[in-house]
A and B are shown apart, each in its own frame.
Chain A
Amino acid sequence: MTDIPTTDVHIDVNAIEKNLSELWRGQKDGDDAVTRAALWNVVAHTSTSDLHASANETLGRASATVPQRTIVIRSNPADEAELTSWISANCHMIGGGKQVCSEEINIVAGGDRIHRVPPVVNALLIPDMPVAFWWLGDLPNEHESYVELLLESADKLIVDSVHFDSPADLALVARIGEQTSTSPADLNWGRLEEWRVATASIFDPPEMRKRLGSIRRVRVIAGSSNHEFFGESIESLLYASWLSAQVGHNVDASGAVEGAAGSIDYAFERRHQSTDVGGIALVEISFEDGTCAGITRDRDRGVLVANVDGSVTVQSVTRSLNQRLDELIVRQLKRSEGDRVLRRVLPIALKLAKRVA
């Protein structure tokens, strides 16, 4: 079908672009043509070979939905001083026997050679195409300048806050959102989307919308391991912060919340479990009149079910979204603009973090 090499071709770092052109030379137009496509530059930053392999696999799958020039970096100052690279193509059938391919570049740097990574990456970005920077693992908030240097050309910074070990990581992401032109994106925020949809569906009927102003208590239960790791609380934190931001609650520096009808009790609870650690398991929203709305996950049926007390009880069912890593990345790449709601939520999450950290 195609002569495009999908296996790794090791090359000199200085000749990456030239070798990429060689990949495509000789491809003909016509019905059997291979289409070279890219909508994004996606740069993944890793520090270990396991994370490197995970990034390769995830972005290879994601490129089937969002074609992209993928650049995967493995950079670790503790490793042996070296700078190596290789290229390959990610090819996918799109129906009608047609094949779409996009390029993948891998760069491994160790020792003092890691300083060459930012300029090499910058030179490899396709012009006039947005840049998403995916940081795998915990953010090195103690090396903020290193992160900022790498992010200079990034339109979007993708993190996964489930790996954050302290509120300082959250603060760094919030600061990047506030002080730079890079939009923050969080895969954990993506995991929350089904809970946001289910909650929104409760308040879609006009008569329920009025009750947003009478919320008195919000209880969020999340799965946790035995380690009390900060990242395990972030999904609950983001949920509570989102509700608070969108309804117009006021959160003070100590994390106390006040609404139109007085103070609101936000309760974060943990349930020890071996799977879905960090994920929300149950939400309860109580109103001034003593009634309650609840959302639970029905794992067998793959849905979230929302129930509301009241005169008309209509169950709302939200299909669980695919939470595979590549699906979460794709959801981020499908939105070229920054997430204004997340920007609003992050500072509130920082305040509420005092109650769970």
Chain B
Amino acid sequence: MSVVAPAIDANPLREGLEQERVPDASCLVIFGASGDLTQRKLIPALYSLAHDGLLPAGQTIIGYARPDYTDDAFRMAMREACDKFARVRPVDEAVWENFAKGLFYVRGEFGEHEGILRLKEKLEECDRTRGTGGRRIYYLAVPPNFFETIAQLLGKEKMVSDPEQDGPFTRVIIEKPFGHDLASAKELNRVAVTTFRERQVFRIDHYLGKETVQNLLVLRFANGIFEPFWNRQYIDHVQVTVAESIGVEKRGPYFETAGISRDIIQNHMLQLVSLIGMEPPVAFEADAVRDEKVKVLRALREFPRGREAEAAVRGQYTDGSVLGEKAIAYRKEVNVDPNSNVDTYAALKIFIDNWRWADVPFYIRAGKRLPKRVTDISIHFRPAPYPLFNKLTNVTMQPNVLAIRIQPDEGISLKFDSKVPGPTVRTAPVTMEFRYATSFGAEPPEAYERLLLETMLGDSTLFARRDEVETAWAWLDPLLNAWAADPIGPELYPAGTWGPEAADKLIERDGRKWRRP
């Protein structure tokens, strides 16, 4: 009797388990470990992964930052962070105890050679004691101006492996902003690829880690019924709204240099537009998906030169009230210039110039201090070709709308007309609803959990590629330059409203209205 020995490239005992793929244990180094992102998002996300059994035994996390912590002090601070921010609370003592054994801290400045050497020593020690086998992930939770210094030091100390060679992997995660404009984005990318290869670079746009955003692909490409209608023949227009009820809070200095257009439109919003507009990829693989997304960005119609503002509206909130509470004007916020002309609201009418979408307008808007926090995509279909019923009833038929709620109360609804019971033919709009909370109950994992796990597994499908970032900037730069040169500045809107009047006019002059999300 012959028995074949099992292949060793995959763990056969994982088959059929909730997590069929578990990454190999690695050292994840967080540069900027004393910062807000580490405490609010990264460590709580890593703990939640450990809680759900998704981290390998031996997974090691090393915080690197300026303050003088010991390993124990760092662990204590991270425990407090998990107590406050982890998805799964209260923190499970047994899981935490084991997770904390893999938490270490190295003190150092970002440009300090000695600090990087201490880090190198700690990494080598973890390889010996925790079985991390030389595998490295560097998370740069630092301002972009430190990227080059850190990358150069890592390269100089040979702490980055070459993916073309067999051996342990090295990956680097970069947080947005990926530049301030096309030139700075190119410079950042140049810096990244002097030390790392493009396939080692994972650019995080946390929107792509959201379940509902990923479900856009499933909705479109796992169902036979939507794709035949997903084109200019049946779709009248598309609306995308990213609304926040909060103001800039403590992010005044950053927001003064970014505005809503750089903070939301250039990345999150264009990611959503490319997922709605893309062609079916040949496979659900990183480059196949990103190839199709970048084609959408390349097909975005350029703003008319010299008349850029005709297709776009910018606004800035002034005093008002949100959800019944007083809200101060943007110019009165902490660390904001009292004469600031920065946009806290932007609405754009854009076109994707290709066969599928020719002349279908995409109305996109994003803003702060709007009446509620909501991210919503709505596909507005063309009306029925012949008004068979409204002659009898004098009632206007409503267009069908497929609404995809990204957050909160995630779900999908389809609005259509139905006959009202009775002897006369009267119609009324009704909706079919799918809600994640109703159908699946469990709370979806945080975006960072998914994205950190994908990085450990080496799958970059949910990360922005260099050409995506640069193409998005190349398209948006002319508008940003036109706004920068415009002395009039943004139109003011009271906090708690849906933005400036000009945004309503932008869509109403086409005979359409913003959908109330």
Is the beta-carbon distance between A204 and B16 smaller than 8 angstroms? no
Shortest distance from the beta carbon of A65 to any chain B beta carbon, whole Å: 4
Nearest neighbor of A193 in chain B, beta-carbon distance: B17
Is B437 in contact with A64, judged by CB distance below 8 angstroms?
Answer: no
Name B13's contact: one of A98, A246, A302 (CB within 8 Å). Answer: A246
Contact in complex: A302, B94 (CB < 8 Å): yes
Q: In the bound complex, how far is the Cα of B95 from the Cα of A197, in angstroms?
A: 15
Cβ of B353 within 8 Å of any chain A Cβ, yes or no, is: no
In the bound complex, do residue A341 and residue B57 qualify as a contact, i.e. CB atoms below 8 Å apart?
A: no
Asked if B186 is at the interface of the complex by the 8 Å CB criterion, the answer is: no
Chain B 84-107: CB-based contact to A (< 8 A → 1; otherwise 0) = 000000001111011001000000
Closest Cβ of chain A to B223, distance in Å, is 14
Q: How far is the CA of A46 from the CA of B129 in the complex (A)?
A: 54
B interface residue count range (under 10 / 10 to 19 / 20 to 34 / 35 or more): 35 or more
Q: Is B3 among interface residues, defined by CB-CB distance under 8 A?
A: yes
Q: Taking the complex as formed, is A127 at the interface, i.e. its CB lies under 8 A from any CB of chain B? A: no
- Whether A213 and B5, one on each chain, are in contact in the complex, defined by CB atoms closer than 8 angstroms, is yes
Q: Is the CB of A258 within 8 A of B3?
A: yes
The 9 closest A-B pairs by CB, nearest first: A301-B94, A316-B57, A341-B16, A200-B13, A65-B441, A312-B131, A260-B5, A317-B98, A314-B58
Are A312 and B6 in contact, CB atoms less than 8 angstroms apart?
A: no
Provide the residues of chain B in CB contact with A96, threshold 8 Å: 409
Name the one of B16, B53, B442 contacting A65, with C-beta atoms under 8 angstroms.
Answer: B442
State A213–B5 Cα separation when bound (angstroms).
6
B15 touches A341 (CB 8 A): yes
B133 contacts across to A, CB distance below 8 A: 206
Q: Which residues of A contact B97 (CB under 8 A)?
A: 301, 317
Query: Does A110 sit within 8 A of B, measured CB to CB?
Result: no
Task: Pick the residue among A258, A303, A314 that contacts B57 (CB under 8 A).
Answer: A314
Q: Which of B12, B98, B437 is the one whose CB lies under 8 Å from A212?
A: B12
**1/0 contact trace for B466-494 toward A, CB 8 Å?**
00000000000000000000000000000
Question: CA A341 – CA B438 in complex, angstroms?
Answer: 29
Q: How far is the CA of A9 from the CA of B14 in the complex (A)?
A: 47
Give the docked Cα–Cα distance between A197 and B12 (Å).
Answer: 12
Question: Could you tell me which residues of chain A, from 241 to 259, have a CB within 8 Å of some CB in chain B?
Answer: 243, 246-250, 258-259
Q: How many residue-residue contacts, CB under 8 A, span A and B?
A: 129
- B 148-168 binary contact with A (CB < 8 Å = 1; else 0): 000000000000000000000
In the complex, A312→B51 CA distance in Å? 23
Q: Nearest Cβ in chain A — how far from B420, in angstroms?
A: 13
Measured between alpha carbons, how far is A146 from B474 in the docked complex, in Å? 70
Known: A317-B94, A319-B94. A306 touches B57 (CB 8 A): yes
Q: Tell me the nearest residue of chain A to B92, going by C-beta.
A: A319
Q: What's the Cα separation between A193 and B19 when bound, in Å?
A: 12
Contact B94 A312 (CB under 8 A): no
Chain A residues within an 8 Å CB radius of B53 = 197, 201, 318-319
Given contacts A205-B131, A210-B8, A312-B131, contact A246 B438 (CB under 8 A): no
**C-alpha spacing A78/B391, complex, angstroms:** 65
Q: Is A147 an interface residue (CB 8 A)?
A: no
Q: Does B431 contact A (CB under 8 A)?
A: yes
Contacting residues of chain B (3-58) with chain A, CB-CB under 8 angstroms: 3-6, 8, 11-18, 22, 24-25, 51, 53, 56-58
**Taking A65-B442, A312-B130 as contacts, is the C-beta distance between A205 and B57 under 8 angstroms?**
yes
- A120 to B435, alpha carbons, bound, how many Å? 31
Question: In the complex, what residues of B have CB within 8 A of residue A100's CB?
Answer: 438
Q: For A200, what are the chain B residues with a Cβ–Cβ distance below 8 Å?
A: 11, 13-14, 17, 22
Residue B124, interface by CB 8 Å: no
Flag whether A272 is at the interface (Cβ < 8 A): no
Smallest CB gap from B24: residue in A: A206
CB distance A303 to B3 under 8 Å? no
With contacts A64-B441, A204-B11 taken as known, whether A35 is within 8 angstroms of B22 at the C-beta atoms is no
Docked pose: A239 CA to B435 CA in angstroms: 37
Taking the complex as formed, is B359 at the interface, i.e. its CB lies under 8 A from any CB of chain A? no
Quick check: is B439 within 8 A (CB to CB) of the other chain?
A: yes
Q: Is B1 engaged at the interface, CB distance under 8 Å to the other chain?
A: yes
A66 within 8 A of B: yes
A351 within 8 A of B: no
A312 to chain B, nearest CB (A): 4
Q: Are B130 and A314 touching (Cβ within 8 A)?
A: yes
Q: A203-B13, A340-B15 are in contact. List 14 more A-B contacts (CB 8 A).
A: A64-B441, A94-B435, A206-B8, A206-B133, A207-B131, A248-B4, A248-B6, A258-B1, A258-B3, A312-B128, A316-B57, A319-B53, A319-B92, A341-B16
Across the interface, name the chain B residue whose C-beta is closest to A321: B53
- CB contacts (< 8 Å) of B131 on chain A: these are 205, 207, 312, 314
Chain A residues, CB < 8 A from B438: 35, 37, 67, 94, 100
In B407-451, the 8 Å CB interface with A consists of 409, 430-431, 433, 435, 437-439, 441-442
- CB-defined contacts of A340 to chain B, threshold 8 Å: 15-16
Q: Which residues of A contact B431 (CB under 8 A)?
A: 29
Restricting to A165-211, which residues have a CB under 8 Å from any CB of B? 193, 196-197, 199-207, 209-210
Which among A65, A204, A246 has the greatest number of chain B C-beta atoms within 10 A? A204
| A298 at the binding interface (Cβ < 8 Å) | yes
Complex alpha-carbon distance, A342 and B17, angstroms: 11
- Which of the four size classes fits the interface of chain A? 35 or more
A235 to chain B, nearest CB (A): 17
Cα of A168 to Cα of B286 in the assembled complex, Å = 49
Query: Would you call A95 an interface residue if the criterion is a C-beta within 8 Å of the partner chain's C-beta atoms?
Result: yes
Listed A/B pairs (12) with beta-carbon separation below 8 Å: A200-B13, A200-B14, A201-B22, A201-B53, A204-B57, A205-B25, A209-B8, A298-B94, A302-B94, A312-B130, A316-B98, A318-B53
Most buried by A among B13, B58, B130, B131: B13
Q: Is the CB of B13 within 8 A of A260?
A: no
Q: Are A203 and B92 in contact (CB under 8 A)?
A: no
In the complex the two chains form, what is the Cα distance from A312 to B60 in whole Å? 14
- Contact indicator B130/A196 (Cβ below 8 Å): no
State A314–B128 Cα separation when bound (angstroms). 11
Residue of B whose beta carbon sits closest to that of A38: B439
Distance of A329 from chain B, by nearest CB (Å): 13
Whether the pair A317, B95 counts as a contact (CB closer than 8 A) is: yes
A339 part of interface (Cβ distance < 8 Å) = yes
Question: Is A39 part of the binding interface, using a Cβ–Cβ cutoff of 8 Å?
Answer: yes
**Known contacts A206-B8, A212-B6; A67/B439 CB under 8 A:** yes
Chain A hits for B15, CB < 8 A: 246, 340-341
A273 within 8 A of B: no
Task: Evaluate contact between A315 and B57: CB separation under 8 angstroms.
Answer: yes
Contact flag A205-B56 (CB < 8 Å), given A200-B17, A248-B3, A317-B95: yes
Within the complex, the shortest CB–CB distance from B453 to chain A, in Å, comes to: 14
Residue of B nearest to A65 (CB): B441
The chain A residue with its CB closest to the CB of B9 is: A209
Give the docked Cα–Cα distance between A180 and B12 (Å): 27
Given A259-B3, A319-B51, decide whether A205 and B14 contact each other with a Cβ distance below 8 A. Answer: no
Closest chain A residue to B129, Cβ basis = A312
Minimum distance in angstroms from A238 CB to a CB of chain B:
13
Cα separation A114 to B342 with both chains bound (whole Å): 75
Bitwise, A82-104 to B at CB < 8 A (1) or not (0) is 00000000000011101010000
- Which chain B residues border A303 with CB–CB below 8 Å? 94-95
Report chain B residues within 8 Å CB of A247. Answer: 6, 12-13
B94 / chain A contacts, CB cutoff of 8 Å: 298, 301-303, 317, 319
- Please name all residues of chain A whose beta carbon is closer than 8 Å to the beta carbon of B18 when the two chains form the complex: 197
A65 to B25, CA, bound (A): 33
Q: CA separation between A249 and B14, bound complex, in Å?
A: 16
Chain B residues contacting A209 (CB-CB under 8 Å) are 8, 11
